[in-house]
Structure formats: structure tokens, C-alpha cells
Amino acid sequence: MTPTRTSRPRTPVAAVLRFDLPASLVVFLVAVPLSLGVAMASGAPLLAGLVAAVVGGVVVGLVGGSPLQVSGPAAGLTVVVADLVTRFGWATMAVVTIAAGLLQIAFGLAGVARFAAAIPPAVVHGMLAGIGVTIALSQLHVVLGGPPRTGAWDSVAQLPGQLLGLHGPAVLVGLVTIAVVLGWGRLPRQLRAVPGPLVGVLAATGLAALWPDVPRVDLPGGLLDAVAPPTFPLPGATWSGVALGVLTVAVVASVESLLSAVAVDRMHDGPRTDPDRELVGQGAANSLSGLLGGLPVTGVIVRSSTNVRAGARTRASTVLHGAWVAVFGIALVGVVEMVPLAALAGLLVLVGVQLVKLADIRTARRHGDLALYLATALGVLLFTLLEGVALGLAVAGLTVLLRAVRARIGVTDPGPGGGPVHVVVRGALSFLAVPALSAALARVPAGAVVRVDLVVDYMDHTAFDHLDGWARAHRLTGGEVTVDEPGRPGSGRRWPHSRFATWSEWQSRHPDLDGTEPAPGAATAALLAGLAAYHAETAPDIRPVMRELADGQRPSGLLLACADSRVVPNMITHSGPGDLFTVQNVGNMVSGTGTHAAVQYATTVLGVPLIAVCGHAGCGAMQALLARARPGGFLRDWLDTGTPSLLAFRSGHPVGRAALAEGRCEVDALAMVNVAVQLDVLRRHGANVELVGLFYDIPTARVLVLDADGVTFSPVVDDAGAGVG
């Protein structure tokens, strides 16, 4: 959560000093150990990690399109870089980084950033999981006192021998690092102002002082000595191998940076990311990093989230963090050389494990993409990163093909109460689905009344011919067959009360017998189907009315109702476009800036003569108010504004007593009291208009009105004096 911006300094310089400067120091403390660790895992010179951190912070901070994203060497590219360094050497890797940066600049100028969104998230998350497991297995050997291994299988194969030859002090140092970082996250927030990775490395460094022979970081000079432009010709490199490496680094770095930027945008309320500009900034940083002898650069979610949580407001924070890394790498090299390698390895084991996120697995499973996730992760582990991603994309394509040709068919028997046999077909009804359709229709008894709902995206001639032939044959047995396409323009007119049927009514009343869940994207499909039906059936009828209202609105009243999806203001008031200015929130509260602004706008600008507050039966907000344990976060803060209604109910408010006397439950009685209390709030705030209290009794579909005495909710009375409903 971003810090609350209540007392913003008056000048940009003051804002930088107050917010961005402290945030940059926090990010710097996180970046140094991680940059060294990524360089070690990549098989690159350790100072190459600091060079990349400086360039990523300063260049992307100045040029990139994501103001609060922090860039530098990232774990996501470790496997790729380690493979290229092993095959071609560090000099060639620098050339690959330069060329990949130029390619990223071309990506940004060509506007291809939007195509990165087409890569399934399950593939990206599976790729990161495979990388994370590879890093963790490789660096586990260093924690155990041995050299790092290349590849997941090699790490697993060598692990038993490594366990038999433990190097005691190194193991202890690595385990202490892991334990401190894990434990640090459980401490109170005040203590966690110092980053956990830094505390873990410092603790391990202090412990390693007891054993002078524990391997430590060995830096050949300072940061300036590490600046080494690439040399030509490239030893041991093939142009095809270099080209493939360039493409891999450019694509992986671009996708990771854009995904990280999207995640960062969700963490703050400042300016959004310009994705094409971000690619140009990342490309410029990579070209310069390679030219100076640094690692490839990407947007890094760990540092970026730290930046946002530390209170950064502008790109000055990421630029300053790069400057601090430069000062550290030039003036404090001796401090770095005190750090044991096992401490960095322990840090990397945690980084690798954290790339495997249970939330990503649950999301992939919920969307039916678990096969994509697993295929990509296993492909990265068993083969190479590029082959793993290709395998994941291949599985994604196969999954789309299977979904496109799959039809799910359910048959609901009429049951003891009678009624029609209901057949529901979802998906794509092609010739491939005809055998399943034939088997389902064979279950329909001869002479039965049948309703067939085709909720399909596509139906070919073979399927149509089979269904049409079966319908003719079934009618010859004395049965009736109605074929309908819910959600399609013109469909559903034969259904009773179809005008008010919900998108999912046919699903909830007639679930499939195969037990399968609705296909991913069903909610979006229902929304789009509703929009299509509106344009086909409703828009032509109301177009003359909307044309008259195009110059402005003149509503007759403001209706404040609950945001509950069952409360449809225009339906329960039988109103049309331009009749009501509506505001809906959780619990129909007169609270918050937005609601008060709407009331002010309606009364002073639109000049409405009436405000109605509408509660309803079974209100979730009222249930939460009555419960002892309320939800947390924003919802808890909002529900706290309903406390006066709860106190009024508990103290015997007349509306509540009347409702309970009628036999209503506490939730509904509190909802009625809440309407009366919100009307009182409007009066106290000077709402000089007519005020009306309403209560929507959902089970009976009746709307009740608060009487003139403000005590009882009663049915509406028509002009002849009869109760309505």
C-alpha cells in the first residue's frame, strides 16, 4: 500500500528530499547484495552486477516509461546469462548485452510492447518458476561449501555427494543468512525499516569472521576498474549462437520488465507506465551496461516494490539509488570483500524459491492453465529457457485448439415435478462433438418435451444437420422440441419473463450433469453477449430518447442504493434514461467524499427535488456490521461508517423495533434502521429536498416505503388506494 499523501511538500526539491531520497537509500541497501548474488550465479565478474545496477538505476530511471520501477541485474536472466558465459565467455556476453539492448530499443520504437501482453501469464510464471528452481539448486551447492552447478539436473545429480562432503563453517554461514532473512520478515514493521537481505548478509559476514578460511568475495579492484568495453574478434563464438542469445536476452528482459511495470502500477496511484518508452529505456541501459562490462538489465519487482513501499514519489528515487551503488562500488570495495560467498548463495536460494509462487499456481489452475505453467517450468528445468518457453507456448496453442473444438453437453431430467427435459450445449459444436451430442440426445425419453439451449460460439453444418434430424425424429414420437440460443439477439422470447432473466439463469437452474466448471472467460462472454443483445434489441428503441437527452441530463431525483448486484435501481423504480441520478455503494451509506460530492452535484447543479435512500433484504454490509469479526482493509474502514446505524439499532431505534415486531430478521431490521439513519445524515448536512426511505424486499421483489412518521416500511399505495405488490 502506498503511503497516504496528506502533507505534500510545496516544491519538487522538497518532495525529493522528503520522499525519494530516503526511499533511494532503502532500495540501494537491497540492490547491492542482490546484484552481487546475481552476478555470482551468472558466472560473471561480481563487479559486473554493480555496473548493471548503476546503469539500470540511472539510465532507466531517466529514460524509461515506468517512473517508480527500479531496474538492474535480475534473477530472471541468470540461467540465460550463465549458459551464454559458459558457451562463449564473458567477452561475448558483453556483445550480446549490447546487441540485445539495441534490439529492445527497436522494439520500443516499433511499438511492439503491446504484443508482450499476448504471452499467457502462466507461461511467464512457469518460466520464472523454472528459473527459480534452477537458481536455488545451483546455489544450494555453494551454501553447502561447494562450487555452483550449471543446470538443474547436474545440481540434483551432484547433491548427494555434496551432502556427504559438507564444509561446516560455510554451511552455517549460508543457513544463518537464510534464517535471518526469513525471520526478519516476521518482525514488527518498525524494525523492518532495514531490508532483510542486508541484515542477513551482515549477520553472516560477522559470523564468518570466526573462520578466516571461509571463501569470500574477491574483487579485482574497484568499480572503475571493472569498466571494460568488449574486444573483437569474439573468441569461440558462432554468429548463429550469438544471434540466438541476443534474441533470447532481448525477449526475456523485455517481457520481465513489462510484467514488473504492470505489477508496480498496481501498487501506487501515480502516473502509469508507457510500455514502449520503458522498452527504449531498458534497451538504452542494456547497451550501455554491455559497453561498460555489466550484466543485462531488467525491471526488478523486488527492488521496485521496495521502492514503492519506502514512499518514493518520482523517478528521482531510482536514479539516486544507482548513484549510491556507484559510490559504494568505488569507495567501499573493501567492505564487499568481507562478505562470504555462502551468504550471497543463501540469499540467492531464497530469491530462487520466491520465484515459485503458490499464488501463480492457484491462478493458473483457476483459469485452466496449469498445464501451461507446468510444461514451461519443466521445460526450463529439463532443457533450456528458450526451449521451455517454446514448449509452454506450444501447450498453450494446443489448449486453445482443444477448447475451440470441445463441446460440453448436459442433460437435466424433468424430475418428479415434471417439466421439460433440458439440454445445454456449450463451447464449439462441430463434427467432432457429434458423437457426444448423439449420446446425450439418446438419453431423452420418447415423447418428452425438450428444450435445447445452444450456448455455442460456433456450429458447423454436420452438427446442425444431426440436431435438426434428431428434432424431426423426436417430434414424430409425439414430443416437443424447442431450440434456443440464450444471449443471442432475438433469442429467448419464448421463455416466460425472459426480459428480466440474468445471464447465468440457465446455468444456475439447469447445471450440466458432467460436473465441469464454466469455461474460462464465460463471464466476459456473457457480458459481451448482453451488449450485443442491447445493440440489437434495445438501442434502436431508445435511440430517439437518448438523442433528446444528448445535450444534458435533467433527472427528477437522486437514488442512493446499495451496490448489491440484485438491486437494479431503474428496474425497481420503473424509470428510464434521464429519470434518476443514481449512486450505489456498499450498504447505501451517506459517507465518503465521492457520495457527498454526488449529493452536492445532484442538489446544486442538477437541482433534483428528491433524494431517496434504498436498503434491501439480506444486505452483506449489514451482516458484517452485526458480526463480531469484520473484514480488514478498505472494507473495514468503510463499514466503520455504518457504526452509528448499528448503535441506533442496538439502542432500540423505532424502525428496528417495528421491523422485529413484524418478524423480520436482525439483518433486515438493521438495513431498515440504516435507511432511517442515512436520511438523518442528509438532513444534518443540509439537504433541502424531499427525502424518501425505501426498502427492497428481495424474496418478494417488493419495494417498501418508509411512512411519514419514520417508523414503519409499508407497501406502495396506488392512486386507487390499493397496495401494490
The structural domains of the chain, with segments of one domain joined by +, span: 15-358, 406-522, 553-715
- Residues 344-398: pLDDT tens digits? 888 888 878 888 888 889 888 888 889 999 999 999 888 877 788 889 989 998 8
Q: Residue 637 above 50 pLDDT?
A: yes
CB 390 within 8 A of CB 420: no
- Beta strand pairing call for 298-299 and 449-459: unpaired
- Residues 63-91: pLDDT tens digits? 999 999 999 998 778 888 988 998 888 88
Residue 565 CB-density burial (10 A; 0-12 exposed, 13-18 middle, 19+ buried): exposed
Position 476, amino acid: L
Quote the cell numbers at residue 396.
498453450
Spatial separation of the C-alpha atoms in residues 502 and 518, rounded to whole Å: 16
User: DSSP strand E in 207-299: where?
Assistant: 298-299
Peptide bond into 235 cis (omega under 30): no
Banded model confidence at residue 493, pLDDT cuts 50, 70, 90: very low
Spatial separation of the C-alpha atoms in residues 680 and 691, rounded to whole Å: 9
Report long-range pairs for 712-719 (Cβ below 8 Å, ≥24 apart): 712/655, 712/658, 713/655, 713/659, 713/672
Q: Residue 104 above 70 pLDDT?
A: yes
Quote the cell numbers at residue 645.
446505524
Position 536, amino acid: A
Query: How many percent of the chain have pLDDT more than 90?
Result: 31
* CA-to-CA separations, 661 to 216, 664, 666, 677, in angstroms, rounded: 79, 7, 11, 19
Q: What is the CA radius of gyration of the chain?
A: 33
Q: Residue 629 above 90 pLDDT?
A: no
Give the residue-averaged pLDDT of 637-654: 91
Q: Residue 482: how many CB atoms within 10 A of its CB?
A: 13
Spatial separation of the C-alpha atoms in residues 437 and 309, rounded to whole Å: 55
Banded model confidence at residue 523, pLDDT cuts 50, 70, 90: low
DSSP-derived secondary structure for 161-215: HHHHT--HHHHHHHHHHHHHHHHHTTS-TTGGGS-HHHHHHHHHHHHHTT-TTS-
Instruction: Provide the 3-class DSSP secondary structure of residue 697.
Output: strand
Spatial separation of the C-alpha atoms in residues 684 and 681, rounded to whole Å: 5
* CA-to-CA separations, 629 to 624, 637, 639, 650, in angstroms, rounded: 8, 13, 12, 17
pLDDT at position 414:
67
Fold for the domain defined by 553-715: Beta-carbonic Anhydrase; Chain A (3.40.1050)
Picking from 468, 458, 470, the residue whose alpha carbon sits closest to that of residue 406 is: 458
Quote the cell numbers at residue 710.
419514520
HSE at residue 593, side-chain half, CA atoms within 13 A, is 0
Q: Residue 499 above 50 pLDDT?
A: no
Report the chain's mean pLDDT, rounded to a whole number. Answer: 82
Banded model confidence at residue 415, pLDDT cuts 50, 70, 90: low
**CATH of span 406-522:** 3.30.750.24
Banded model confidence at residue 723, pLDDT cuts 50, 70, 90: very low
